[in-house]
Every structure is written in structure tokens, then in C-alpha cells.
Amino acid sequence: MAAKNHFRTLSADRRRHERIALELTTLPTAAGREHRVQAYVDRWLAARSRSLVWRRDGDGNLLINSKKRPAGRTAPLLITAHLDHPAFVVRHLVDDRTIEAEFRGGVHDPYFENAKLEFHDADDRIVRGRIESLAPADGERLFKVATIRLSRRLPSLAVGDVGRWAFPAAAITGRGSKRLLKTNACDDLAAAAAALCAFDRIRKRRGMEHVGLLFTVAEEVGFVGAIGAATNGLVKKNARLVCLENSRSFPESPIGGGPIVRVGDRMTVFSPGLTNEISTLMMAHAAANPKFKWQRKLMAGGACEATAFSAFGFQSTCLCLPLGNYHNMQAIDEVQAGRRPAKVGREFISVEDLHGLIEMLEVVAGGLDASTAGGPLPQRLRALRRRNKIVLDG
């Protein structure tokens, strides 16, 4: 009953959590150019400087911990999200109306054809433009490079400024359990918002001093930040990482079906022990809270930082939100089959799934190191054998 009462109080925070998600997911960001999102997190930290400590490595990855030392020898538990999204970065000013911008991330070529863009200068002034041509990545170019004709002269644009697809303003649409957050970059900023919201609640509970946050950079170009954090000493070797993602939804992993315990991606399966422990917690939580929805899926539509951390010897797994218009691509399967024109669109997630992910993180933080019904999986399997091995006697 106590657990039910605890999670019922979440309703008082829902509006604030949705506001944070809207604010974060509308910030322009790109691999290596995450400064606007980092500034948002820095302001969040400044308001909590009495209770938190943080450190940023040379890559820009940010580790946040409680000032209080954890009791005993509990291994660190890090809720992890990346701060970039596929986007354009200005690399050359051709003339006062034409620029070249490289695209850092994975989007299929047809979506670039004649696409409308918006670029943000250092003072957050916006200039719009349209793609005139696209050069592929090759031996000389690490990324695709678009030539863009601007709608007006804007001498304030500079090399390194961020551009993105031009969309209508972000909004929450629909009613009740059908509400959707439609915005520029759910991946991975909706997960970063969930991490901030959940941690704000987790850190106030006794015994949670071992729980921290890790925000990484440049995930969309090959886990660059995560690999750095895994190898430069920022993260302790005994840390367990719960990596948050937004992963392309399929019919078997529907939007609105609840947040997902992701067992793997298109490259690997994640640490089975940690994944199974979290799944056991979710089964118990759902049994005690029938309105709570969750899913357990592979989600092979992309790759996740849990793969990188696992590869370097960490216990890591993933919790994710099922995502629509993955990387802003509408009708991906149809476009790959030849449909034209290809259209970009706002990414979208279920608002209820977002709240469910925040709840899921609280359950994981509070239950992962507590004794669970039946004990760890090997213990439960041995008990199952003891009970049923009578069948071997005939």
C-alpha cells in the first residue's frame, strides 16, 4: 500500500514533468554542439548545488552525484541519456545567402530533397533555408554535406551553428491516455527530461545516495561520448548503467503500450543479469499497480549506448520510449520501398509512456538493491529444481 501511495503522488508533478519535456525537446542540438541542452542542465544543477556534485570530462559528458556518500558498498547506479539529436552543423559560408552544413546523424537521403531548414545563430536568432543539393559522405567528407540557400541575408551565422528541420511549434496533442508529445527531438531529449524528473524524486529518498545521472554527448555519430566516459575514468568500473533511449516503434512495441525494458538493439543484447533484475521488478510493480503499463522488447531498430558500455565491461541495460517518426523520418518503410516525396516530421511519444518511464526509474532505483520476491534468478531456478525434480524419479 505504501508503494501505491508513493506513486500516486506523481500526479502532482505531471504538469511540471511535461513542461520540462517540452522545454528540453525543443532545444537545438547536434553531436558535438550540445551547448544549449548543457546550459539547461547547468541551470537545473545550480538550483540544487547544496545537495549535488558534478564533473564534466574533456568530451563534455556530465556525471552528477549526491554530495552524501552512499552507505555500505552499494555499486553506483547511473541513469544515462545522451544530449544530441541528428542535425546540421554549419561548416562553410559560401556567400551571404548560401551555406554548406554537414549532417551529423542517420537520416536516409530522400528526406533531404528540397527540405526546409532553420538555423540558430549564437543569439538564437533563426534564419530559414532550403536544401539545394546533398553530397554524400566519402573519403574526404566524414558526413553528408548539404548546400542550403537561405531565405534572407544573415551575416551573424557562423561556422558551428546548428540547423535542423523546420517544423511547427512543439505541442502536446490529444486527450487523456491518447496524448502525444510532438516535438523536434524526443531522441534523446525526452529521455533526458525523464532522467531529470525521476532523479529529482529519487535523490530525496533515504538510501538513494548511490544513484546518479550521466549525460553523454555525440551519441548519434557512433557513441563517441559514451566510449569516452567508459574509458577515461569518469565512470567507476563497478557502476551499473541504465541507459535511456527513444527507440523506433513497431506494431509489436506500440506507442502508448508503456515504457520498454529493452533487452538489446540491432548490435547486441545487453547485460542479462541487470536486464532480468529490472524485468522482475517491473513484473512485481505491475502486479501491485494494475494501471501501470510496461513492455519488454528487443527493439532492433537502432543502437543504444548500453551496447558501448557493455563492450567495455560495464553492467548496462536500456529503458526506452517507443518513438514515432524516428530521426524525424515519416513513413520510413514506405520511403525505403520507393515512395516519394519523402517527408520529415516531428518525432512523437506518448505522454503516458513518458510518465511511465519516470515511474519505472523510481521503481528501479528503489528496488534494484532490495531483496525481491524469490531472490535472484539463479536462486529462483535452484528452488524450482528442488521443487520439481521429483519427476526424475519416475
Q: pLDDT tens across 176-229, in order?
A: 999 999 999 999 999 999 999 999 999 999 999 999 999 999 999 999 999 999
What are the cell numbers at 327?
Answer: 530521426
Return the higher-pLDDT residue of 4 and 283.
Answer: 283
Q: Place 269 in a pLDDT band, splitting at 50, 70 and 90.
A: very high
**Mean pLDDT within 57-84:** 94
Yes or no: say if 342 and 335 are a contact pair by the CB < 8 Å rule.
yes
What are the cell numbers at 384?
Answer: 524450482
CB-CB neighbours of 13 under 10 Å: 15
CATH topology for 2-84+177-377?
Aminopeptidase (3.40.630)
Q: What is the mean pLDDT of the chain?
A: 94
Q: How many percent of the chain have pLDDT more than 70?
A: 95
Q: State the greatest distance between any 2 C-alpha atoms of the chain, in Å, as a whole number.
A: 87
pLDDT in tens, 285-337: 999 999 999 999 999 999 999 999 999 999 999 999 999 999 999 999 999 99
Q: What pTM, to 2 d.p., does this model score?
A: 0.94
Burial per residue of 261-279, b for 16 or more beta-carbon CB atoms within 10 angstroms, e otherwise:
bbbbbeeeebbeebbbbbb
Across 285-350, where does the E strand assignment appear?
Answer: 295-297, 315-323, 347-350
**Mean pLDDT within 80-103:** 97
pLDDT at 69: 86
Residue 8 pLDDT > 70, yes or no? no
pLDDT at 3: 47
pLDDT at 1: 40
Give the DSSP letter string of 123-172: T--EEEEEEEEEEPP-SS-SSEEEEEEESS--TT--TT-EEEE--PPPEE
**Mean pLDDT within 161-179:** 97
2-84+177-377 and 87-165 agree in CATH topology:
no
pLDDT in tens, 102-160: 999 999 999 999 999 999 999 999 999 999 999 999 988 999 999 999 998 766 899 99
pLDDT in tens, 11-59: 779 999 999 999 999 999 999 999 999 999 999 999 999 999 999 999 9
Residue 372 pLDDT > 60, yes or no? no
pLDDT in tens, 325-368: 999 999 999 999 999 999 999 999 999 999 999 999 999 999 99
- Domain ranges, ordered by start, for the chain: 2-84+177-377, 87-165
pLDDT at 171: 98
pLDDT in tens, 220-261: 999 999 999 999 999 999 999 999 999 999 999 999 999 999
pLDDT at 6: 52
**Mean pLDDT within 378-393:** 89
Across the chain, where does the E strand assignment appear?
Answer: 52-56, 62-66, 77-82, 87-95, 98-104, 116-120, 126-135, 144-150, 162-165, 171-173, 180-183, 211-216, 240-248, 260-262, 295-297, 315-323, 347-350
Q: Which long-range contacts (CB under 8 A, 24 or more apart) does 287-293 make?
A: 288/3, 288/4, 289/3, 289/4, 289/7, 292/7, 292/258, 292/356, 292/359, 293/257, 293/258, 293/352, 293/356
CATH topology for 87-165?
Elongation Factor Tu (Ef-tu); domain 3 (2.40.30)
Give the DSSP letter string of 354-387: HHHHHHHHHHHHHHTTS--TT-SHHHHHHHHHHH
Choose the weakest-confidence range: 92-101, 147-156, 267-276.
147-156
Q: How many percent of the chain have pLDDT more than 90?
A: 88
